[in-house]
Amino acid sequence: MIRRLRRSLVRVGAMASKETTHVLRDPRMLYLALVMPVVMLFLFGYGISIDLDRIPLGVADQDRTEASRALVHTLTESGELTVAADTTPEGADRLFRRGDAAAVLVVPQQYGERLARRERVALQLLVDGSDVTSANQVLSKVDALVRAETRRLAGASVAQAQVPLTVKVWTRYNPAGRSAIFMVPGLAAFIIALTAVLLTTLTVAGEWERGSMEQLFASPVGRLEIVLGKLIPYLVLGLLELLLVVAFGASVFDVPVRGAPVLVLLVGFFFVVGMLGQGLLVSVITKNQLVATQAGLLSALLPSLLLSGMVFPIENMPVPLQLLSRVIPARYMVHALREILLKGNGLAVLWPDLVAVIAFAAAVIALSTLRFQRRLA
Amino acid sequence: MTAPRPAPTAGDGPAIEARELSRRFGAFLAVDRVSFEVERGEIFGYLGANGAGKSTTIRMLTGLLAPTSGTGRVAGFDVRTEPEAVKASIGYMSQKFSLYLDLPVRENLVFFGGAYGLWGKALARRADEVLALADLRDAGDVTTGDLPGGVRQRLALACAILQRPRIVFLDEPTAGVDPVARRTFWRIIRELAREGTTVFVTTHYLDEAEYCRRIGLMVDGRLVALDTPAALKATWVPERLLVARGRDLARAGERLRGLPGVQHVVRFGAALHVRVAPGGVSEEAVAAALRSAGASDVAVEGAEPSLEDVFLAVVGANGRGAEAAS
């Protein structure tokens, strides 16, 4: 029994050390594992900033009084909105078509007079809806600023007239609302999903194409031994990659690390095993490097990008997609990373994510070992 | 006959034994009821055209492919029910044997040694031994991809014999290798056999088959002839080939055509090649006939038919649906 175990360990060790030599001798692998993730993090981290600054606002001031100028001043004070053009309600379309303004604020005639008489005044906001993200941000920003202005006006003129309900917003964890802080944990999970799947698809399909798989099958190396020997070196590489991405996120994008880094490694360990296993499964089924790479990329890229909650909130998805997202391991990794890094949560909150990534890893490893027939036909 | 487990190659049965071994791929019968035995320490050549079923037979015997019907025993283990025991006791060099070209020669040996459970000092020592045996002593640190084809094949053989298997299966080990390198390769194979290793080798080079103790010939999935090279020649090319040398043979040759049993007389350079049916005239009679026709300094001796003649005869006979010889 002990002897058999030792022989088995020798075989796993032989596989693992051979794979390590492959990686060390192949700069492309190292590039794929260690350079590409950082490059991607930079590209995505700067590219997928969904914060809008200095939104161009057209102003059609039909009142032109001190009061109307005060309103425009309040709106543009913070720099989030800037006056892009002085225009008329009819001129709004032209501005939108040329892309010179994301919205046009129409201040009606007699704005100042009616305010002084304490009458209700309706401002008009024309919004370019062709870019939904920008439109939503303009809406919420203008809405918030106008409320503030209303309160200011009310407070200034009628000190005792209390507004019955006010909401004081106090944003925790990401007070500045910076999207990088939200995006980087998601990106980390996404990038690792992608590269881990690619790492194993390339290596296993390579053995099939080279014909060395037949040679391996003719030796006493068992299925699980092949699988483990293939996984171990890439697992180490994947974890290095995870640390690298988190470290870069923290230093370049100021992503906080509030929780225990060891938790990142714990969840990351099983997540990486799961994604490596997915790559293994793909290449066990396809047996061809080109097909395996394509299938591996698609099977990792699309779900991890679209269904992980990295960009699109899962709660807003149609129910079938929500259900589908439950079998996407990136979903749990994204969630866990945000919980650990941004909120400093521990296992009390993370355990469902941990259970999910372990279950996925166990399932794909079992499946690929079963599919891995050590016979040729 | 049946070797008891677990000792590999226990008992004293044949090293390899195939009984009615068949393999079907869909409608295509790749191997059709093949039966043979290979004795221990024998070099057994398996000949046939491409697609004749050689590799399929090897894959069944190495436990890589389950037979559709029939049985095979290798080193005393059943290839269908105990493929793992078979794998542990054989060395195999597949037709497409592929070393890891990006690794140095020694790393390839270390890896395949590890795959067979060798490690540490024992592995290092054994690697040195096979490097020496394969004439690769100084190539240990060379990147495998930089080696010429013939040298790679020797390295592949070295990898296949690392774990000291009692039986090695070599599937077309010299395909695409130049004649000098092939000769070196066969020197190593014969050395292995001398040390008691059973060698099962497929090839389509007929000159190599002369090195084998026995030869099996496959045509369209069937084993149609099986014997020693000499016996195969006697069975399949029963005519004798006589070579006559001397002076003034050209005119005298005409006289031979009338002799009993002479089928064919051809000038071959300065010599005459005379093909005589079994029971036809003897060497002496041919020499006498030539002398009486005016030739001088006449010497006549028998020449062996080549295996190529055998192969053509076998394929020809079986193309017409004739029965197998063995």
Q: What is the CATH number of the domain that holds B121?
A: 3.40.50.300
CATH architecture of A55-157: 3-Layer(aba) Sandwich (3.40)
Q: Is B92 close to A215, i.e. CB distance below 8 A?
A: yes
Predicted local distance difference test score (pLDDT) of residue A208: 84
Helix, coil or strand: residue A168: coil
Q: Going by C-beta distance under 8 Å and a sequence separation of 6 or more, which residues neighbour residue A367?
A: A281
Region B115-119: mean pLDDT is 89
Predicted local distance difference test score (pLDDT) of residue A373: 74
Q: What does the alpha-carbon distance between residue B186 and residue B174 come to, in Å, rounded to a whole number? A: 9
Predicted local distance difference test score (pLDDT) of residue B293: 84
Name chain B contacts of A1, Cβ cutoff 8 Å. none
Predicted local distance difference test score (pLDDT) of residue B3: 37
Q: What does the alpha-carbon distance between residue A145 and residue A158 come to, in Å, rounded to a whole number? A: 20
Q: What does the alpha-carbon distance between residue A189 and residue A246 come to, in Å, rounded to a whole number? A: 10
Q: Is residue B2 part of a domain?
A: no
Q: Is B102 close to A11, i.e. CB distance below 8 A?
A: no
Region A76-80: mean pLDDT is 80
Contact B200, B54 (CB under 8 A): no
Predicted local distance difference test score (pLDDT) of residue A134: 75
Our count of domains for chain B comes to: 2
Name chain B contacts of A216, Cβ cutoff 8 Å. 115
B129 and B152 housed in the same domain: yes
- Residue-wise pLDDT for B123-139, tens only, equals 999 999 999 999 898 89
Give the CATH number, domain containing residue B271.
3.30.70.100
Query: How near does any CA of chain A get to the CA of B116, in Å?
Result: 6
Q: If pLDDT is split at 50, 70 and 90, which confidence band does B319 have?
A: low
- Residue-wise pLDDT for B189-214, tens only, equals 999 999 999 999 998 888 888 899 99
Q: Is B64 close to A214, i.e. CB distance below 8 A?
A: yes
B175 and B268 housed in the same domain: no
Residue A1 clears pLDDT 50, i.e. is over it: yes
Q: What does the alpha-carbon distance between residue B183 and residue B153 come to, in Å, rounded to a whole number? A: 12
Predicted local distance difference test score (pLDDT) of residue A296: 86
> Which segment of A132-136, A284-288, B60-64 scores lowest on mean pLDDT?
A132-136
Contact A42, A252 (CB under 8 A): yes
Residue B5 clears pLDDT 60, i.e. is over it: no
B284 and B168 housed in the same domain: no
Q: Which of B215, B233, B251 is the last residue of a domain?
A: B233
Predicted local distance difference test score (pLDDT) of residue A335: 92
Domain range for B257: 238-304
Residue B4 clears pLDDT 50, i.e. is over it: no
Q: Which residues of B touch A (CB under 8 A)?
A: 25, 59, 62-66, 83-84, 87-88, 90, 92, 94, 96-100, 102-103, 107, 110-119
In this complex, which of B84, B94, B117 lies closest to A10 when CB atoms are compared?
A: B117
Q: Which residue has the tokens 């391991």?
A: A329
- Residue-wise pLDDT for A91-129, tens only, equals 888 888 888 888 888 888 888 888 888 888 888 888 888
Q: Is A226 on the interface with B (CB under 8 A)?
A: no
Predicted local distance difference test score (pLDDT) of residue A253: 84
| Strands across the sheet containing B28-38 | B28-38, B16-25, B69-74, B77-78
Query: How near does any CA of chain B get to the CA of A330, in Å?
Result: 34
B72 and B143 housed in the same domain: yes
In this complex, which of B90, B92, B98 lies closest to A212 when CB atoms are compared?
A: B98
Q: If pLDDT is split at 50, 70 and 90, which confidence band does A48 have?
A: low
Residue ranges per structural domain of chain A = 2-49+177-371, 55-157
Q: What's the DSSP call for residue A108?
A: P
- Residue-wise pLDDT for B234-283, tens only, equals 888 888 888 888 888 877 878 888 888 888 788 877 888 888 888 788 88
Q: Is residue B153 part of a domain?
A: yes
For residue B296, list its beta bridge partners: B247
Residues of chain A above pLDDT 70, percent: 91
Predicted local distance difference test score (pLDDT) of residue A194: 87
Residue A161 clears pLDDT 70, i.e. is over it: no
B134 and B190 housed in the same domain: yes
Phi, psi dihedrals of residue B233, rounded to the nearest 5°: -65, -40
Q: Is A218 close to B100, i.e. CB distance below 8 A?
A: no
Rounded mean pLDDT of chain B? Answer: 87
pTM summary value: 0.76
B154 and B274 housed in the same domain: no
Residue A149 clears pLDDT 90, i.e. is over it: no
Which two structure tokens, joined as six digits, stand for B3? 């070797």
ipTM greater than 0.90: no
Predicted local distance difference test score (pLDDT) of residue B8: 45
Region B44-62: mean pLDDT is 92
Q: If pLDDT is split at 50, 70 and 90, which confidence band does B285 have?
A: confident
Q: Is residue B311 part of a domain?
A: no
Q: Is A208 on the interface with B (CB under 8 A)?
A: no
Q: Is A17 on the interface with B (CB under 8 A)?
A: yes
Q: What does the alpha-carbon distance between residue A256 and residue A343 come to, in Å, rounded to a whole number? A: 9
- Residue-wise pLDDT for A5-34, tens only, equals 888 999 999 999 999 998 888 888 888 888
Report CA Rg, chain B: 24
Residue B323 clears pLDDT 50, i.e. is over it: no
Q: If pLDDT is split at 50, 70 and 90, which confidence band does A369 have?
A: confident
B132 and B260 housed in the same domain: no
